[in-house]
């Protein structure tokens, strides 16, 4: 299963969207929207690495960087949205 199709990813993504929509501060909302876009791209990059593994039989060298990037983006989003309640 691709990460982008994972129910947990979909739930997280939807919750982030809901929280972002409740932000009144335009600058913060824009920052969070951009982070959400990065979050989706980071997940797609990891999916591409896994696809490469299945096709070529080897994991790309930068998979650890991709995972660290995803974790960093998620941490930033969580921090910025911690005060927003759904």
Read off the pLDDT of residues 43-68 as tens digits, 9 standing for 90 and up. 998 888 888 777 777 766 667 788 89
Q: Compute the mean pLDDT over every residue in the chain, rounded to the nearest whole number.
A: 90
DSSP conformation class of 7: H
15-24, 32-41, 45-54, 64-73: segment of lowest average pLDDT: 45-54
Q: At what angle do helices 63-81 and 26-56 cross, to 10 degrees?
A: 160
For the chain, domain boundaries:
3-13+26-81
Cα-based distances in Å from 41 to 23, 26, 44, 47, 86: 22, 23, 5, 10, 24
pTM greater than the 0.75 cutoff: yes
């Amino acid at each position: 299963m691709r990460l982008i199709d994972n129910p947990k990813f979909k739930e997280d993504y939807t919750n982030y969207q809901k929280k972002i929509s409740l932000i009144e501060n335009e600058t913060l909302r824009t920052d969070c929207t951009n982070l959400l876009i990065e979050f989706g791209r980071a997940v797609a990059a990891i999916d591409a690495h896994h696809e490469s593994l299945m096709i070529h039989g080897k994991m790309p060298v930068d998979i650890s960087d991709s995972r660290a990037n995803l974790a960093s983006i998620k941490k930033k989003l969580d921090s910025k949205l911690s005060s927003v309640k759904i």
